[in-house]
Amino acid sequence: MPASIPRAASDRAAEDLGNAIHLEHVNVQVPDQRLAMLFYVTGLGLTRDPYLMVSDTNMWINVGKSQFHLPEGRAQVLRGHTGLVIEGRAALLDRLASVAKKLESTAFAFTEHNDYVEAICPWGNRVRCYEPDADRFGRITLGIPHVEFEVPVGTAPAICAFYPEIMGMPAELRNGDRPVAVVKTGHGQHLRFRESDRSQGEYDGHHVQIYITNFSGPHRRLAERNLIFSEDNPYQYRFRDLVDLASGKHLFTVEHEVRSATHPMFMRPMVNRNPAQNNRNYALGHDQWLWAMGPDEYDRR
């Protein structure tokens, strides 16, 4: 029997995730649930979670395996943008155009760029919509690959040091038009902190949520520096401030909702509809959006 031919060694480190295994949601308050529905569901083509938060004071919007959480309240605006992978630029542009009239007199707008479409919600939150790309975003055709924050000039290196040391999350400092700290939060997912000299408003309470595997170690290190903001339950705590580990200087504020992988809601199934379906073109078997690429699309790389 012929000997098997050994396969070339793979880069095993490329498959490491670090302590964070999923960036699950972005939470911003909205003052009007109807206008939020028009933007996130009708315009972007996403799906309201049918199981949870079904009243008129909050809604969860499914994005593949991630979500936007939109509780009612004074408008909150993320100081940066949320990245969104969604297939079909032409259809996206048509949907956004279809809600423009109803969103007049708000901050709503959308513009095409070479690499993405930027859509702005009625209160100013920016969402950059990219076509699926296995080399850039992995297997997803629908999801949140990154959240990018604009941070003060000179803070990116210290932010890059904070996450590995305190949270056990790999980070690297990249230099493009401006330095940016890129923090791994899951497979194909990142928090990015890009230096900007643009004036930023005061932090207003919005947050992001991550799942981590080593839950107690980061909690202990945060507590040692008095950085724990809230003890929610046995599976969840929060922190807000990023600090220089050497000097203790404040760098940036954004709330992190930190959940353990034993949290009851970890990897709960998400319903994602196909926004191309309507009552005039309806096709059986095509209600669901397949949020990940098939093997013929992904593995031919």
282 within domain boundaries: yes
**Could you tell me the residue range of the domain that residue 42 belongs to?**
20-298
84 within domain boundaries: yes
Give the per-residue pLDDT at 201: 84
Give the per-residue pLDDT at 294: 86
CATH number at residue 245: 3.10.180.10
pLDDT values of the chain reduced to their tens digit, one per residue, 301 residues: 555 666 667 788 888 889 999 999 999 999 999 999 999 999 999 999 999 999 999 999 999 999 999 999 999 999 999 999 999 999 999 999 999 999 999 999 999 999 999 999 999 999 999 999 999 998 999 999 999 999 999 999 999 999 999 999 999 999 978 999 999 999 999 999 999 998 888 999 999 999 999 999 999 999 999 999 999 999 999 999 999 999 999 999 999 999 999 999 999 999 999 999 999 999 999 999 989 998 877 555 4
Give the per-residue pLDDT at 176: 79
Write the secondary structure of 86-125 as one string of H (helix), E (strand) and C (coil).
ECCHHHHHHHHHHHCCCCCCCCCEEEECCCCEEEECCCCC
67 within domain boundaries: yes
Q: Say how many domains are in the chain.
A: 1
CA–chain centroid gap for 201, Å, is 21
CA–chain centroid gap for 49, Å, is 17
Give the per-residue pLDDT at 187: 93
Give the per-residue pLDDT at 177: 84
Give the per-residue pLDDT at 5: 60
Looking at residue 166, what DSSP letter applies?
Answer: I
Give the per-residue pLDDT at 7: 66
2 within domain boundaries: no
Distance separating alpha carbons of residues 133 and 139, to the nearest angstrom: 8
CA–chain centroid gap for 142, Å, is 11
234 within domain boundaries: yes
274 within domain boundaries: yes
Measure the N-to-C terminal CA separation of the chain; round to a whole number of Å: 31
170 within domain boundaries: yes
7 within domain boundaries: no
